[in-house]
């Protein structure tokens, strides 16, 4: 027998009905609790705040990456870029695990899709920070790119 879970989408009165197995229900409840704690009483983060949060919580320093103690300072950025790439490749694999079964008629795993999307965004913001691209520069570049795409 399937388990049923009804949740209310944050900021609305719209119920979301999820039919989930026991493991998926536990993951969904965890994600729902985490999302509620993360946004309760807070406004959505702008790109600058989001970037600051990502950089502050996942810094590239010797405490988190002991190998940096043995690398010359000029190689820290190279290590960081390579490590971010490793994380993006890992995220691609996790995304492939979500998307590939769809070709075989399996339902999409929204929880894992959201995690992969979150990880891509966090790693992209880390990449920009290591590359010296500010959030404002990143936003401006996206605006220019969007205008170029519309005109071509």
Provide the pLDDT for residue 28. Answer: 54
pLDDT in tens, 50-87: 999 999 999 989 999 999 999 998 899 999 999 999 99
Q: How far is CA 98 from CA 18, 28, 57, 75, 151, in A?
A: 18, 16, 26, 35, 34
Provide the pLDDT for residue 53. Answer: 92
| Average pLDDT score over residue span 37-52 | 72
| Average pLDDT score over residue span 139-143 | 90
Q: Is there a contact between 18 and 7 (Cβ–Cβ < 8 Å)?
A: yes
Burial 27-61 (b: 16+ CB within 10 A, else e): bbeeebeeeeeeeeeeeeeeeeeebeebbeeeebe
Q: How confident is the model at residue 149 (pLDDT cuts 50, 70, 90)?
A: confident
Q: How confident is the model at residue 93 (pLDDT cuts 50, 70, 90)?
A: very high
| Average pLDDT score over residue span 109-117 | 90
Mean pLDDT of the residues in the chain: 78
| Average pLDDT score over residue span 89-118 | 92
CATH architecture of 45-151: Orthogonal Bundle (1.10)
Maximum mean pLDDT: which of 2-11, 15-24, 107-116: 107-116
Question: Is 118 or 32 the better-scoring residue by pLDDT?
Answer: 118
């Amino acid at each position: 027998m399937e388990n049923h879970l009804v949740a209310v989408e944050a900021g609305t009165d719209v119920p979301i009905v999820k039919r989930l197995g026991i493991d998926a229900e536990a993951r969904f409840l965890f994600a729902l609790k985490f999302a509620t704690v993360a946004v309760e009483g807070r406004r959505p983060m702008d790109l600058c705040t989001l970037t600051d949060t990502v950089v502050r919580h996942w810094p590239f320093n010797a405490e988190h990456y002991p190998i940096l103690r043995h690398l010359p300072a000029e190689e820290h950025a190279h290590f960081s870029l390579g490590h971010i790439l490793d994380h993006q490749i890992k995220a691609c694999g996790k995304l492939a695990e979500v998307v590939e079964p769809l070709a075989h008629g399996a339902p999409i795993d929204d929880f894992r899709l959201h995690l992969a999307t979150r990880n891509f965004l966090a790693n992209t913001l880390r990449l920009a920070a290591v590359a010296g691209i500010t959030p404002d520069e990143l936003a401006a570049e996206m605006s220019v790119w969007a205008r170029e795409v519309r005109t071509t």
